[in-house]
Amino acid sequence: MQKITPFLWFDDQAEAAVAFYCATFRDAVAGSVMTASFTLAGLEFTALNGGPCYQFSGAISFVVRCADQAEVDELWDRLAEGGTPHQCGWISDRFGVTWQVVPAEMMDLLGRGDAVANGRMMQAMMPMVKLDLPALRRAWDGG
């Protein structure tokens, strides 16, 4: 059992949100209309239909490390359905939950410690909405 579980408070759309997330990340769902527990990529979540007193904000987001550009494209396109795209690979889905859809390779390149290459890649990333791994790679390489 994991020690910390994300708990998502919805007005009245927990069941729809859980079904959407499980279809997007291809995981199974178990739960009820009031609360639902579900697992996405091995991480357990709980969703609650708790009414409108709390709303989601971008102050908390979920980073999704994607294996390649195809996975970035697939997840981004699904999460964008009825959602709001933001700069730098961030997107608020139709339920108001914020995600950062990033290629794992970008994170690996940033971890190499080359400040000049990292700066080039970050400058290339800043105007992007959905991240473009080939363009990020070219920027990191200096091309």
Q: In whole angstroms, what is the distance from residue 134 CA to residue 130 CA?
A: 12
Give the HSE-up count for residue 71: Cα atoms under 13 Å, Cβ half-sphere: 13
106/88 same-domain check: yes
pLDDT at position 80, please?
A: 95
Q: How many structural domains comprise the chain?
A: 2
In the chain, what is the straight-line distance between the N-terminal and C-terminal CA atoms, in Å? 46
**Mean pLDDT throughout 11-39?**
84
62/124 same-domain check: yes
pLDDT at position 89, please?
A: 95
48/81 same-domain check: no
12/48 same-domain check: yes
Q: In whole angstroms, what is the distance from residue 91 CA to residue 13 CA?
A: 19
61/79 same-domain check: yes
SS3 label, residue 13: coil
11/69 same-domain check: no
Give the HSE-up count for residue 55: Cα atoms under 13 Å, Cβ half-sphere: 5
- Containing structural domain, residue 95: 56-143
Domain boundary among 35, 52, 69: 52
70/110 same-domain check: yes
pLDDT at position 143, please?
A: 79
For residue 94, which phi and psi values (nearest 5 degrees)? -65, -10
pLDDT at position 3, please?
A: 78
Tell me the per-residue pLDDT of 85-121, one tens digit each, with 9 for 90 and over.
999 999 999 999 999 999 999 999 999 989 999 999 9
Q: What is the dihedral sign for C-alpha 37, 61, 74, 41?
A: negative
- Here the CATH number for the domain that contains residue 143 is 3.10.180.10
Q: Does residue 28 surpass a pLDDT of 90?
A: no
Domain boundary among 52, 73, 93: 52
Mean pLDDT of all residues in the chain? Answer: 92
110/128 same-domain check: yes
- Could you tell me the two tokens for 47? 């969703």
